[in-house]
Amino acid sequence: METLHVETETKQYPVFIGNEIITDLSPFIKELKPVVTSVLILSDKTVSALYMDNVIEALQGLDLPVHTFVVPNGDGEKSFSNYYNSLTFALENGLDRNSLILALGGGMIGDLAGFVAGTYMRGIRFIQIPTTLLAHDSAVGGKTGINHPLGKNMVGVFHQPEAVFYSINFLDTLPLTELRSGFAEVIKHALIQDEEFYNYLKEEISDLSDIQLENLSHILKKGISIKAEVVSQDEKEKGLRAILNFGHTLGHAIESESGYGTISHGDAVAIGMRFALKLSEELGNTNLHYKEISNWLKQFNYPGVPFQLDAMRLLSAMKRDKKSTSGHVKMVLLEAIGQPYVKEVSDSILLDALQKFLLTDKEQ
Ligand SMILES: NC(=O)c1ccc[n+]([C@@H]2O[C@H](COP(=O)([O-])OP(=O)(O)OC[C@H]3O[C@@H](n4cnc5c(N)ncnc54)[C@H](O)[C@@H]3O)[C@@H](O)[C@H]2O)c1
């Protein structure tokens, strides 16, 4: 088992990564102060069917009331109604301020359960138990929340977990499309912060369906370390943390305009990263080998921009993004691999770049 440490202004917590580490959950919970009075495991249908029993079994030595609440799966379920229903369930089952929530699932559950924990009785403790590759990103850093029909992740709070338990064996059942989605965030971390890691990925990973345990473990550790480092310097996104949005400005626009859940988060981010790379080259007069990176991404079958979306519609959605200020879009761009910067880009430049990008993207 490997332990990483996340240190933010408000909290320090461990991230445990390893095979079958869920067995270490009980001893960790036992040590928490104040003493935990009850546990609520929040999960989605698919993950619950696969791993809920493992987690319940791992809690048996605790002698605590353990409740489970399961929502349907899919990003559309990061909703007001599931948030409300989870709170109602928690109240009906007598969760108090010393109860603990376990978020068992991917980023959707992590965000929803974290938001429930962050707001129930003005905030109770929670632990992330990620089950997707993408969650190496979402489980660390304390951003929690739900979607509003008018925008993704528009309602939420910063609420750091007590710990993250990454039991790698839980990823065994992850469909290839979900691995690909998570891998996009891994690539993002490499591109914004670590050229050596990017080269490692390019050399070592060519087929996600055949990813070796040691590679997966290395990828998780590297990705989490990068995320943890950024978050430790800027917990509440006052500056540096914005670089984590590389690929997300267009990515979020694609997700919301296609309808949440229609395209996976990582697939949308992969398109957004390609666009950001192209724009970086155009505006920065740099050579980021857009074509080479783009071809490498294609190897994993990341999709192109959905056909029904045009440049004007995407621009409007980008302007609604909460990272835009007074309707101006801020893009995370790269000077070189590992050297990101944030730039406000005018509507006319963006529209032009989007039109060109869509044209070539749909031609490919
Ligand atoms: N809070 C943050 O900092 C942050 C960062 C990035 C992404 N996110 C959010 O994360 C979400 C996306 O996360 P995700 O891709 O993990 O999505 P997800 O949680 O919806 O999981 C994707 C699908 O995989 C299934 N699944 C999960 N684990 C599985 C397993 N081990 N075996 C089989 N199936 C499994 C789920 O049931 C679901 O159908 C988005 O809502 C995004 O906004 C949050």
Pocket test for ligand 1, best of 178, 230, 244 (most atoms within 8 A of CB): 178
174 lines ligand 1 (CB under 6 A): yes
Going by pLDDT thresholds of 50, 70 and 90, the confidence category of residue 256 is confident
Residue 137 pLDDT > 90, yes or no?
yes
Q: Is the pLDDT of residue 36 over 90?
A: yes
Distance in Å, CA 114 to ligand 1 centroid: 13
Q: What is the distance in A from the centroid of ligand 1 to the CA of 186?
A: 14
Ligand 1 near 119 CB (within 6 A): no
Active site residue 281: no
pLDDT of residue 361: 77
Task: Kindly tell me if the per-residue pLDDT of 104 is higher than 60.
Answer: yes
The CA 178 to ligand 1 mean position distance, Å, reads 8
Mean pLDDT of 338-344: 95
Domains along the chain with CATH numbers: 2-171 (3.40.50.1970), 177-363 (1.20.1090.10)
pLDDT for res 150: 78
Binding residues for NAD(+): 131-132, 143, 152, 170-173
Bridge partners for 333 per DSSP: 341
**At 328, is the pLDDT very low, low, confident or very high (cuts 50, 70, 90)?**
confident
Ligand 1 pocket residue status of 256, Cβ below 6 Å:
no
Mean pLDDT across 23-48: 98
Binding site membership of 44 for ligand 1 (Cβ less than 6 Å): yes
CB distance 216 to 186 below 8 Å? no
Does the pLDDT of residue 29 top 70, yes or no? Answer: yes
Contact 161, 16 (CB under 8 A): no
Q: What is the mean pLDDT of residues 113-135?
A: 98
Smallest CA separation from ligand 1 atom 24, residue = 178
**Mean pLDDT, all residues of the chain:** 93
The tokens of 287 are what?
């050579």
For the chain, give the percent of residues with pLDDT over 70. 98
Q: How many residues does the chain have?
A: 364
Per the structure block, which two tokens stand in for 187?
């690539």
Instruction: Assess whether pLDDT exceeds 90 at residue 350.
Output: yes
In this predicted model, which residue has the larger pLDDT, 251 or 321? 251
Whether the predicted pLDDT of 363 surpasses 60: no
Chain centre to alpha carbon of residue 320: 20
Q: Is residue 164 in contact with ligand 1, taking CB distance under 6 Å?
A: no
pLDDT band at 342 (very low <50, low <70, confident <90, very high): very high
Q: Is 237 a catalytic residue?
A: yes
Look at residue 298 in the predicted model and tell me its pLDDT. 87
Contacts within 8 Å (CB) and 24+ apart, 227-232: 227/136, 227/137, 227/140, 227/141, 227/189, 228/4, 228/5, 228/6, 228/7, 228/15, 228/140, 228/141, 229/193, 230/193, 231/6, 231/8, 231/140, 231/141, 231/142, 232/6, 232/7, 232/8
Pick from 41-45, 61-65, 284-288: least confident = 284-288
**Mean pLDDT for the stretch of residues 306-318:** 91
- The answer on pLDDT for 364 being more than 60 is no
